[in-house]
Chain A
C-alpha cells in the first residue's frame, strides 16, 4: 500500500489510454507523455502501459506501507527519499515506513511515479486512466487527495536503475513543436502561415495560463482567416495533437480529452513531439514548425531509436 501525504498541484492515475470508444465520444485520457510512462514501466518490469501517477507541481509526497521498487520519469525533479536527495529518471528500493517527497522541479512539467506491482484499482471502460471532466476512471474518478491509500498488488523489488542523463529528452523552453498540415491549413492567409510556421521569423507563442489537460492555449500573433472563409467547421473528429484555431486566431493544441471539434484544424503535432506537449507549462515559449510527412516520419524514427537505446541501456545495467 501507498499513502498520499501531499498530492502536489494535481495528481491523477493514468495508463496507455481508453482506446476504441471514440465513436461514443469517449476520449483516450491517456498519460500525455506516453514515452515517459513506457520507460517508467520498463524500468519497473511492469507491463508497458501499466497505470502510474501523473503529477503536476512540487510537494508531492508518499508514505510507503510495503517494501517495493518505485520509479520516477517525465519532468526532471529533485526527489527526497528518507532525507537523501537525488535526481530522476531512476528507480529505487523503498521500505515500509519510508517517505518520498518531490522537492523541486528542475525541467519539464508533468512527472510520472510508478511502482513495481500493479495498483489495486478497477478499470473503467477498459482503462485505468482518469477522465477528469466526467469524473470516472483512475482512483475513484478524481485527483488524489491527502490521506488516499492505494493498494499495490504483489509489490516486488527490482534492480535499481538510472537512465543516463544524455538520453533524457530536452524539456527546457523555448519548445520547438513540429507539426504537419491539418485539413483546414488552406483556410489561413499564406503570408502569415509562412512567417509563423516555415521561417519562424515572427516571435514565439507563449503558453496561456488558461491551459489545462484538455488543451494547450497559445498566445501570440493570431492567424488570419482568408476573406470569406467560414471560421467554424461542421463538427468533425479530432485526434490528439490537433492544432485548432478558434475565431480569435490563437492556436489551441488539443491533448487527449476530445474526439470531436468544430474549429479549423491548421495542423497536427507530429507523433515524435506529442510527448513533449506534457511539458508545456503556462508562460513557456513555444515555436511551431511545419514539416512534411517524410520529415515527420524521420523524426518519429529517430525518437523510436532513442527509445530502443533506453531499453538497451537498461538491459546492460541489469546484467
Chain B
C-alpha cells in the first residue's frame, strides 16, 4: 500500500485508479478499519472512489510516525470483519415538475420516459462516495443507455431531494443548491438531517434501489 503526502496535514492512500466496484470495496474496507481504530491524531477520513484521504493534526504527530503506525496495522485489514452494506429503497417521483430535465434525457437517449424509469429503477446502485454537499451520494454505475452530459449552464437552484444524472453517475441532492446534473425526479426521503444523529442515512459502500411512485 502506498502512503502519499498531501500537503503538511494529509495522507493519501491510493488503492486503484479506475471506477470499479472491486477498488471501491478495498477503499471501504480500509476506511472502516481505520475508523474503527479511532486514532486521536486523525481529524478526518475522506473515502472516495479509489482512495482514502486522511487529515491529521501535524502538531500532534508527524507524517512519518503516523505512516509507520498505519503500516503496522496493515496485516489486520484483510481479517477485519467488514459489516454488510445496508440496502436503501428510495421512492422517486419521476418526470413532471420535479424532473425538469426528463424531456432532455428522453431526446438525448432516444428512450421513452417509461423506459428511462424502468432502467433507472432496475439497478442496485453502490454509494461510491459521499460529498459535494453533506450526505450527497455518488451512485454508480449507471446503465450506459442513460449516459447524459452535465448541463452546459448549471442551474442556480436545484431543490432538495432532486435525483439527477451526470455521465455514468446518479445522485441525490440533500440540500437546495446550485448544480449541473440532469434532474429526472425527486424523492421525499431525508438523506441528511443535521438535527439528528447519525445525521447521514447512507454510508459509503451502501446500496440504493430507486422505486417509482
Contact = CB atoms under 8 A, between A and B. Distances in A.
Interface string B2-30: 00111111101000011100000000000
Contacts of B53: 236-239
A260 B51 contact: no
A236 B134 contact: no
Given A183-B4, A300-B8, A26 B199 contact: yes
Contacts of A27: 134
Interface in A266-289: 268-271
A209 interface: no
Contacts of A25: 130-136, 192, 200
B8 A234 contact: no
B199 A21 contact: yes
B33 interface: no
Interface centre among B7, B58, B204 (most CB of A within 10 A): B7
B48 A237 contact: yes
B185 interface: no
A259 interface: yes
Interface string B172-213: 000101000000000000001011000110011000000000
- Chain A contact-residue range equals 35 or more
A24 B135 contact: yes
Interface centre among B8, B52, B55 (most CB of A within 10 A): B8
B129 to A, nearest CB: 6
Contacts of A258: 131-132
B31 interface: yes
Contacts of A135: 175
Interface stretch (B38-46, B66-74, B81-89, B98-106): B38-46
Given A134-B194, A260-B132, A239 B4 contact: no
A293 B199 contact: no
A239 B5 contact: no
A22 B200 CA distance: 11
B44 A270 contact: no
Contact of B129 (A235, A268, A300): A235
Contact of A22 (B12, B44, B49, B177): B44
Given A24-B200, A268-B7, A293-B5, 17 more contacts: A24-B130, A25-B132, A25-B135, A124-B195, A133-B133, A134-B177, A135-B175, A182-B6, A237-B12, A237-B46, A237-B47, A237-B53, A259-B46, A260-B132, A260-B138, A296-B7, A297-B8
Q: Which 10 A-B pairs have the closest CB atoms?
A: A260-B131, A237-B53, A237-B46, A268-B7, A22-B44, A24-B200, A25-B131, A136-B194, A134-B175, A25-B130
Interface of A: 19-27, 124-125, 131, 133-137, 180, 182-183, 234-239, 241-242, 258-260, 268-271, 293, 296-297, 300
Interface of B: 4-10, 12, 17-19, 31, 35, 43-53, 55, 58, 129-136, 138, 175, 177, 192, 194-195, 199-200, 203-204
18 contacts: A22-B45, A23-B46, A25-B192, A133-B133, A134-B177, A135-B175, A180-B7, A234-B17, A234-B49, A234-B50, A235-B49, A236-B50, A237-B48, A260-B138, A271-B8, A271-B9, A293-B8, A297-B8
